[in-house]
Amino acid sequence: MPILDSVVPSEFRPESVYLNTAAVGLLPARSVRAVRAALDDGVAGRPTDSFGQVEEARAAYARIMGVSADRVAVGSSVVSYSALVAASLPAGAEVLTAEGDFSSLVNPFHVRGDLRVRSVPLERIPGAVDAGTAMVVVSAVQSADGRLVDLPGLRTAAAAHGARICLDVSQAAGWLPLDAGAYDFTVTVTHKWLCGMFGLAFLTVPEDFGGLLPLSAGWVAGQEPWASCYGPVTELARTARRFDEPQSVACAAAPRSLALVEELGVEAIHAHDLALAERFREGLARLGHEPVPSPGSAIVSVPGLGGRQPELSAAGIEVSDRAGSLRAAFHLHNGPADVDRLLDVLAR
């Protein structure tokens, strides 16, 4: 893929074989420069256009996810936005989740105490939606092992029964082609496949806001932020910006990181990542190892090999140990040599 070959080497130069994007993605050089400039401005007392950075990031993410920028809120974490969605449901509403899904997504629905939360195995999610289901809350790609939920099946089932969908795309946005407009809500962090920093998250909402209350709205969520600094916010933003939260220096990185994803194209990144993951699966088969079935995923999880993570790290290969399984994540900065190096060490 010529575009990856021409752009990626100038942006990423990891000192290890880095196969841990599912935990924390690498920050591209352009984003590092932007963050350093923002820090220098802070040290020197120079004003920075943080609002402009937020709007640039909002627009870029909207383009990547196929929705208008008016439907994108910019916040700090998945859990804070999951809590907003959970708070919008009436007492007694049934919420369908996948067993073992990421806690930041599902925990706010459990702590409500007055919701009926039903958890089923991931592969049963579409078939478990019924007339009593108010909302399905699930990750597009499972953090623990890379399994994908059946998104077409989920959309069909939800539409048939009038259920809404809250989809966590933290392990998908940036490599898996997605249309956020096909779901009621999507949430994501940016410090994984979007190559951003900790402390920045996105929420997409319907045009009518889907019944969300701006419970965490502060002055930045006002229609006129600088006129909303004191006392109650008299007029909230007329767009999803009413769900914005105050931002950190992560705002400086986001526009640059998202621009890189746009330049390369999610479709090209998708093909690149899956080719590497498939190369790893084929190599594992030769070594007699069987990964968790996760066709179409850039994450490969191998039961029983998690204990080798310290050994691999000592050999300059960064992966994760998740519940005893070795989890390898392949992204745009990786190449076939990285896969072969991992297989070589595992073969010893």
How far is the CA of 147 from the CAs of 14, 33, 57, 161, in angstroms? 27, 35, 28, 25
Closest by CA to 178, choosing from 273, 79, 297, 267, is 267
**What stretches in the chain show pLDDT beneath 50?**
none
Residue 2 is predicted with a pLDDT of: 54
**Alpha helices per DSSP H over the chain:** 2-11, 29-44, 50-65, 78-87, 103-111, 125-128, 151-161, 250-264, 266-287, 309-314, 336-346
Is the full-model pTM beyond 0.85?
Answer: yes
Question: What residues does 116 pair with on adjacent strands?
Answer: 94
Q: State which H helix or E strand residue 97 sits in.
A: strand 94-98
Residue 5 is predicted with a pLDDT of: 76
Residue 164 is predicted with a pLDDT of: 98
**Average pLDDT over all residues of the chain:** 96
Burial class (CB in 10 A: 0-12, 13-18, 19+), 162: exposed
Residue 328 is predicted with a pLDDT of: 98
d(CA 123, CA 167): 15
Which tens digits make up the pLDDT trace of 156-202? 999 999 999 999 999 999 999 999 999 999 999 999 999 999 999 99
Residue 225 is predicted with a pLDDT of: 95
Phi then psi for residue 329, to 5 deg, are -125, 130
Residue 248 is predicted with a pLDDT of: 86
Closest by CA to 346, choosing from 270, 285, 258, 255, is 285
3-state secondary structure of 271: helix
Residue 3 is predicted with a pLDDT of: 62
The domains located in the chain, with CATH, are 2-27+266-346 (3.90.1150.10), 41-263 (3.40.640.10)
Q: Residue 10 has which token pair? A: 């100038």
Residue 26 is predicted with a pLDDT of: 98
